[in-house]
Amino acid sequence: MPELQRLRADHAPALLAFEQENRAFFAASIPDRGDDYFARFAARHEALLTEQAAGVCHFHLLVAGDGEILGRFNLVDAADGSADLGFRLAEKATGRGLATAAVHDLFALCTATYALTTLRAAATVTNTASRSVLTRTGFVRTGEEVLLNGRRGLAYVRRLSGERTTDAGAR
């Protein structure tokens, strides 16, 4: 079973492969990262690790037993008990409940490790899969419409309290 792991420096090659292999799939429902993201990947990865070390963000990867990355689950702008959740799953990993399970595992980390009580999220209106994961994991629409790189999106929120605190890798 895939395991949720905190982002590390040694994840860089597999993470770059994940982003490259799934770029077209992601761009169909979320804004594309652009060529500059790939050209400057190493520097960007280091910057993410620096942000994570400062406690501003918490980055996680869903990693298969062979080390292949199947998804990203990011908590950004962590402050005052809240953070923004963003996630993406490899095309070949969709439809198996992996994103839903990983988001649930993240809830335990949010409360037990990061002292977060509220998560915010947004998804483009065309991203039915992500909106379904948010709904299945207890996020509710705020009624606010947002723009995500020029695309119309919907905002969600999830209050956390008493979430299961089992080992994050256990399912």
Identify which has the larger pLDDT, 162 or 39.
39
What's the Cα-to-Cα distance from 2 to each of 17, 62, 97, 135, 145, rounded to whole Å? 17, 6, 11, 22, 33
* Predicted local distance difference test score (pLDDT) of residue 57: 97
Query: CA-CA distance, 160 to 110, in Å (whole number)?
Result: 8
The pTM is what?
0.89
For residue 32, is it within any domain?
yes
Query: CA-CA distance, 135 to 129, in Å (whole number)?
Result: 10
Across the chain, mean pLDDT equals 92
Look up tokens 């993470």; give the residue. 15
Q: What CATH number has the domain bearing residue 126?
A: 3.40.630.30
For residue 165, is it within any domain?
no
Domain that holds residue 38: 3-159
**Helix 12-21 vs helix 41-53: crossing angle, to nearest 10:** 120
Cβ(131)–Cβ(116) below 8 Å: no
**Maximum CA pair distance of the chain?**
42
**Residue percentage of the chain with pLDDT more than 90:** 84
Tell me how many domains the chain contains.
1
Residue 125 pLDDT > 70 = yes
For residue 148, is it within any domain?
yes
For residue 167, is it within any domain?
no
The token duo for 63 is 């990693």
Q: What is the mean pLDDT of the segment spanning 62-77?
A: 97
> pLDDT band for position 94 (50/70/90)?
very high
For residue 19, is it within any domain?
yes
Phi then psi dihedrals of residue 130, to 5 deg: -65, -40
Q: What is the mean pLDDT of the segment spanning 70-75?
A: 98
For residue 171, is it within any domain?
no
Residue 62 pLDDT > 90 = yes
For residue 84, is it within any domain?
yes
* Predicted local distance difference test score (pLDDT) of residue 163: 57
For residue 168, is it within any domain?
no
Exposed e or buried b per residue across 116-144, where buried means at least 16 C-beta atoms within 10 angstroms of its C-beta: bbebbbbbbeebeebbebbeebbbeeeee
